[in-house]
Amino acid sequence: MKIEPLKVEKGIRVSELVEKFSYTALNARRLGESGKIWKEMVKEDAFIFLTLAGAMIPAGMRDIIKDLLENRFAHSLVLTGANVVHEVCEALGFPHLSGSPLANDVELANKGVSRIYDVFMETPAFEGVERFFMETFKELSGVFSSYEILWEIGKRLQNSFLSLAFENKIPVFCPTLHDSIAGLHLMLYGKNAVLNYSKDAKMLLDLCSQKRKMGIVIIGGGVPKNFALQAMLLAEGFDYAIQITTDTPQYGGLSGATLEEAKSWCKLKGDAKAVTVYCDATIALPLLYAYLID
Amino acid sequence: MKIEPLKVEKGIRVSELVEKFSYTALNARRLGESGKIWKEMVKEDAFIFLTLAGAMIPAGMRDIIKDLLENRFAHSLVLTGANVVHEVCEALGFPHLSGSPLANDVELANKGVSRIYDVFMETPAFEGVERFFMETFKELSGVFSSYEILWEIGKRLQNSFLSLAFENKIPVFCPTLHDSIAGLHLMLYGKNAVLNYSKDAKMLLDLCSQKRKMGIVIIGGGVPKNFALQAMLLAEGFDYAIQITTDTPQYGGLSGATLEEAKSWCKLKGDAKAVTVYCDATIALPLLYAYLID
Amino acid sequence: MKIEPLKVEKGIRVSELVEKFSYTALNARRLGESGKIWKEMVKEDAFIFLTLAGAMIPAGMRDIIKDLLENRFAHSLVLTGANVVHEVCEALGFPHLSGSPLANDVELANKGVSRIYDVFMETPAFEGVERFFMETFKELSGVFSSYEILWEIGKRLQNSFLSLAFENKIPVFCPTLHDSIAGLHLMLYGKNAVLNYSKDAKMLLDLCSQKRKMGIVIIGGGVPKNFALQAMLLAEGFDYAIQITTDTPQYGGLSGATLEEAKSWCKLKGDAKAVTVYCDATIALPLLYAYLID
Amino acid sequence: MKIEPLKVEKGIRVSELVEKFSYTALNARRLGESGKIWKEMVKEDAFIFLTLAGAMIPAGMRDIIKDLLENRFAHSLVLTGANVVHEVCEALGFPHLSGSPLANDVELANKGVSRIYDVFMETPAFEGVERFFMETFKELSGVFSSYEILWEIGKRLQNSFLSLAFENKIPVFCPTLHDSIAGLHLMLYGKNAVLNYSKDAKMLLDLCSQKRKMGIVIIGGGVPKNFALQAMLLAEGFDYAIQITTDTPQYGGLSGATLEEAKSWCKLKGDAKAVTVYCDATIALPLLYAYLID
């Protein structure tokens, strides 16, 4: 197929550009193709997992996540504990701040500022989050999966993808909840609450075993990627897969592992439609969302 | 400054999204900031160099380059020999083809297909390019800078940034012209033509010594980056700089070197406005162009 | 300080080369410096965590891990579930095989071969591992931390860092045990065993609160990195830190986050000795071990 | 083939470790395999090109380069202009200094310090180099290839791979000489000297057309990589190729292009023995040299 030189007109919409990307090459093409695959997933009524690692919430992507769930472009979310903590922070009204990645970190520490690359977070935010978790976790009693804990959190928030998940009983898994500030607070304050991931695994297996097309959109690798892919070892494999990452396969880590490799494990079906986009997800994900809503 | 969670509405235009990116973080923010810096360059009537390395023309970016020059968003171009060859190829009507990076390269060789990651180029294209270069270079006589050779090439083409450069006497430098198929053909067929880069260096120094603001947009590093930055060792340094790359500084190569580092060499002024976007330029450059025309 | 051109003599020992690396630049220097910091940690009787992510065991690094623990160059290990599974596999006598990263993954799947970049693993290995886990987990009853589960596993193995850990009661944490084949089998066969990470967190906090110098060697990021660093939010911060990774900070992910950034969180002390080596750990770690034993 | 867990004994020599690496996986394996291929090249009396990009000389690798040429582990060198400049600097007794990549670059500029990642270079070094080039280039008259200019430079130095090249008439190509401080000085002071790369291209083609096995060792990509590979478009292709790089293919740039891709262009023979090592060359190259001399 011929590569078509990209022509950009004044006033071009994002969705038009993403469409045009699919006739170019390199990662623009991959981005365009991922848009088409995601659209097909939606059209074919596939059940879609969205997995999320990296500093996506601190970087300002929380509304995109919420809108993806609200528009049913994803039906389940798997994310890291850090993203949960930062989402709670935002939902409570403690904003993240823009900062320099070249700042002196010892000085930042002295001023009570914690840095995530070019994002700053101040002490009051941590205190607010701790208060929220303390109050929330004190009220909990029993054995909880991570998605149940997140529903409990969502119940107490507004204007968050976590509150949306609670209201619509969307399963949001956090397989590293214990490895986060939320997890520390759960341990300190949730004396009567036990976190047990077996319940997560069971729910996940049920979702993976549905009699419909299955799709996955992987943002940035990590445990969320492995958690969702691995469940397919006990099911039939994904029909569709999109991966947005800046990790490459040459060093053998899971985050950079190709979707082709996942086929050898039968985590993807042999004929699955799959594409990896090598791009910072803060750029690629909003482009894809804009493509999908149009 | 507060990071503002990104809100994407139905029908959003690219320029609106790039504007919004500048209030987020990570590379979306960098992309948004680079848009603002480029806009300021244009507004302040800076003289703008655009340097181009990597497989940008094979990947379908030729019209973006032409439109950037045509709209005076860049006033001079520095590019690799390979991009010249592939531009001639396109302008002559030999398209690049979309292919798989997983193809068997020995089989491709047997079929006369050369691969550039996911771009295929077939034997007739190479033959057409050779014919064109043979005819062009046979007619040349004397000592030529690279920009003069490119004007001679542009004179014989249509609908190309090279023909545009010829018509408008835009200086397009190719400091690695000899290290390309064009260079091989120049050596084989241009018996009366001598390529001498001293003339390029002089023109470049003249351009760098203008009494106006100076700006540079670096796509992908390599010799084009060094060539344009280095001229500033003999002038006053750039006022504005944008770099779009996927190379990182940790391995010490020039392509990944930061714009901060360039300040230690006085290639950039100490107070230059500068930002690096870590992103495949096939994605970032069209976004920036769309932002600029709006 | 002057950079000393590296002189390599016939028969040079690894330890000599690593020493010399510390007078060069770029990542050779970083590697040399990390050797010196690690040596100082040992000399100062620091308590040393080693965290392990990436396909290190499949890639043949199991004896290095064992020898590091045996020689007291590390006193606690934090690793991913996948590395546990592959270690059990090796200890049971099922070797990993060398393969091509260009292999056809659908054909591999049909032959029962699972691929990890250039490492192949065959069906009998998975069956052997499943049998072992089934028998092990059936016998367990009660609430277990991950380190207790790993001791139970180690008790039933020989010639493994896991058996060494059992024998010497070395705390080996696996904060993603549930997100692995081991975790799936624990859920399926360990009906009377409950995995609870609170116990891990408590043990970890105790270890982090010792009245001695604290050090950490981070291989490849991921949850193991976060798990160990995060505990320091409730303690005084590490005095020494070494990070070996191929991830870079520019995309905002935790695995690529700098050790400087960790200082803003007080996970490292402000005056901690810290260095990151950007290198595949299959190369860097054996070099460092050879340096340490000499 | 079975992966053999790596066993490192006290006092292990570098050559033993590199040998053992070849039975592991990931980049340790690639490094071990590259050692075997290089050894075979030498044993089969192949003509070996060594191409050099990146800040290798500033980083302290000049003696390794000299020793590789002196021991006939390479028979021709292709390098960047920057590496020439820094080699002259070292040979004249102006050392490079170790510095912090986090230094304030504007302050460095004010102190007359230029930074290359973690290497500092001070004003007197630049002045000394300029004096040397001025004196050298004033004496030159006629048309010169880059390798002849480098011989002229080498004639005036001692204890340098450039003096060794002069004495032994080893062809050292610098296809970006004009794009360096040396090139600027040649233009300013070498009024009677003309640099013409056609002569380089002819010599290179002669070398590539020898009736013996042909090999190439690529350090870091860039123009040196392309220059040497491209000559094979007019010859029969390399029989052996080793590439040491930290660039990956996913972004389409030449530096990261695979050796497989080079087969589609017939730059490598279809059955060439070829391996890429993804590793900082400041680490990998000394390891390989130590392996070769043992």
pLDDT in tens, B200-222: 999 999 999 999 999 999 999 99
Find chain B residues with C-beta within 8 A of D117's C-beta.
Answer: 249-250, 252, 257, 261
Given the residues C66, C225, C263, C267, the one annotated as active site: C267
Nearest CA in chain A to D278: A250
**Record: contact D263-B118, CB cut-off 8 A:** no
Structure tokens at C12: 């040079």
Q: Do D251 and A278 touch (CB under 8 A)?
A: yes
Give the Cα separation of D280 and C17 in Å (integer).
15
Half-sphere exposure in the Cβ direction for B12 (13 Å, CA): 25
Tell me the chain B residues in contact with residue C253 when contact means C-beta distances shorter than 8 Å: none
End-to-end, the C-alpha distance of chain B in Å comes to 26
Q: Which residues of D are catalytic?
A: 267
* Candidate from D59, D179, D261 with C-beta closest to B115: D261
Residue C249: closest C-alpha in chain B:
B248
CATH number, domain containing residue B259: 3.40.910.10
pLDDT confidence of residue B207: 97
In the block, tokens 């990146």 appear at: D54
User: Tens-of-pLDDT digits for all 294 residues of chain D?
Assistant: 999 999 999 999 999 999 999 999 999 999 999 999 999 999 999 999 999 999 999 999 999 999 999 999 999 999 999 999 999 999 999 999 999 999 999 999 999 999 999 999 999 999 999 999 999 999 999 999 999 999 999 999 999 999 999 999 999 999 999 999 999 999 999 999 999 999 999 999 999 999 999 999 999 999 999 999 999 999 999 999 999 999 999 999 999 999 999 999 999 999 999 999 999 999 999 999 999 999
- Neighboring chain A residues of D25 at a CB cutoff of 8 Å: 252
Instruction: Give a yes or no: residue B90 inside a domain.
Output: no
- CB of C265 within 8 Å of a chain A CB? The answer is yes
A20, A267, A269, A273: the catalytic one is A267
The closest alpha carbon to C57, from C31, C99, C89, belongs to: C89
Q: How far is D167 from chain A (nearest CA, A)?
A: 41
- CB-based contact (8 Å) between A251 and chain D? yes
Q: Tell me which H or E stretch contains C65.
A: helix C62-70
Q: Give the pLDDT of residue A132.
A: 98
CB contact under 8 A, C6 and D283: no
Cβ–Cβ below 8 Å for D114 and B226: no
**pLDDT digits over B129-156, tens only?**
999 999 999 999 999 999 999 999 999 9
CB-based contact, B126 to chain C, within 8 Å: no
Contacts of D103 in chain A (CB under 8 A): none
SS3 assignment, position B268: strand
Distance CA D245, CA D257 (A): 10
Number of domains in chain D: 1
Question: Whole-angstrom Cα distance, residue C251 to residue A281?
Answer: 9
Burial status of residue C187 (CB atoms within 10 A of its CB: 0-12, 13-18, 19 or more): buried
Dihedral sign computed on CA atoms, order B170, B173, B179, B185? positive
**C100 at D interface, C-beta within 8 A:** no
Residue numbers in B near D253 (CB within 8 A): 53-55, 220, 222, 246, 255
Interchain contact C24–B (C-beta under 8 A):
no
- Residue contacts between B and D (CB atoms, under 8 Å): 174
Region class of D261: left (phi > 0), else alpha (psi between -120 and 50), else beta: alpha
In chain B, the percentage of residues whose pLDDT exceeds 90 is: 100
Q: Which of A206, D58, B249, A146 is CA-nearest to residue C5?
A: D58
Distance from the Cα of D9 to chain B's closest Cα (Å) equals 30
Name the pTM for this structure: 0.97
Share of chain C above pLDDT 90, in %: 100
Q: How many CB atoms lie under 10 A from the CB of residue C206?
A: 12
Q: Which of C29, C250, C277 to mutate to test the interface with B (most CBs of B within 10 A)?
A: C250
Tokens of A9: 């007109």
User: Nearest chain D Cα to C4, which residue?
Assistant: D60
A15 assigned to some structural domain = no
> Are the C-beta atoms of C88 and C25 separated by less than 8 Å?
no
Mutation pick from B78, B107, B137, B179 vs chain D, by most beta carbons of D within 10 Å, is B179
- C-alpha angle with apex C28: C10 to C33, nearest 5 degrees? 110
Q: HSE (CB half, 13 Å, CA atoms) of D185?
A: 25
| Tokens encoding A166 | 């609670």
Question: From C18, which residue of chain D is nearest by alpha-carbon distance?
Answer: D283
Q: Cβ A63–B8 below 8 Å, yes or no? A: yes
Which residues sit opposite C241 in a β-bridge?
Answer: C216, C274
Q: How far apart are CA A198 and CA A202, in angstroms?
A: 6
Give residue A122's Cα distance to chain centre: 24
D1 part of contact set with chain A, CB < 8 Å: no
Report the percent of chain B where pLDDT is more than 70: 100
Low-confidence residues of chain A: pLDDT under 70: none
Residue from the list D119, D178, D257 with its beta carbon closest to the beta carbon of B197: D178
Name the pLDDT band for B84 (thresholds 50, 70, 90): very high
Q: Which chains touch B (3 or more CB pairs under 8 A)?
A: A, C, D
For residue C74, the cross-strand partners are none
Give the pLDDT score at A113. Answer: 98
The candidate with the shortest Cα–Cα distance to C240, out of C42, C15, C78, is C42
* D3 Cβ under 8 Å from any chain A Cβ: no
Q: Which residues of B touch A286 (CB under 8 A)?
A: 6, 8, 17, 21, 28
Angle between helices A14-21 and A281-293 (to 10 degrees): 110
Residues 147-206, chain C: which have Cβ within 8 Å of D? Answer: none
Spatial separation of the C-alpha atoms in residues B202 and D101, rounded to whole Å: 33
- Average pLDDT value for residue range C75-79: 98
Under 8 Å CB pairs connecting chains A and D tally to 18
- Could you tell me the strand order of the sheet in which B119-122 lies? B97-98, B119-122, B113-116
Is residue D26 within 8 angstroms of chain A, CB to CB? yes
Q: Which of B66, B225, B263, B267 is catalytic?
A: B267
Task: Give the distance from residue D125's alpha carbon to the nearest chain C alpha carbon, in angstroms.
Answer: 13
- Residue B167 included in any domain: yes
Residue A65 at interface with chain B, using a CB cutoff of 8 Å:
no
- CB within 8 Å of C238: residues ≥ 6 apart: C214, C215, C216, C229, C232, C267, C268, C269, C272
Task: Let me know if residue B45 belongs to a domain.
Answer: yes
The verdict on residue A234 lying in a domain is yes
Contact of D116 with chain B, judged by CB distance below 8 Å, is answered with: yes
pLDDT value at residue A7: 97
pLDDT at A84: 98
Q: Are the beta carbons of A28 and B282 separated by less than 8 Å? A: yes
Domain span holding position A244: 43-96+130-281
**Alpha carbons D158 and D156: distance in angstroms, whole number:** 7
> For A98, which of B1, B97, B278 is closest by C-beta distance?
B1
Are residues A250 and D27, on separate chains, in Cβ contact within 8 Å?
A: yes
Contacts of C223 in chain A (CB under 8 A): 176, 179, 222-223
CB-based contact B194:B146 (threshold 8 Å): no
Q: Is B267 a catalytic residue?
A: yes
Compute the Cα dihedral for A64, A65, A68, A70 and give only its sign. Answer: negative
Identify the closest residue of chain B to C279 by CA–CA distance: B251
Chain C residues within an 8 Å CB radius of B252: 25-26
**CA-to-CA distance for C227 and D123, rounded, in angstroms?**
47
What is the pLDDT at residue D41? Answer: 98
- Asked if the Cβ–Cβ distance from A248 to D248 is below 8 Å, we say yes
Q: Looking at the complex, does the CB of residue C222 fall below 8 Å from at least one CB of chain A?
A: yes
What is the per-residue pLDDT across C205-219, written as a single tens digit (0 to 9) for each? 999 999 999 999 999
Which residues partner with B51 through β-bridges?
B78, B218
| Residues of chain C contacting B259 with CB distance shorter than 8 Å | none
- On whether residue B118 sits in a domain, the answer given is no
Judge whether C108 and C121 are in contact, CB under 8 Å. no
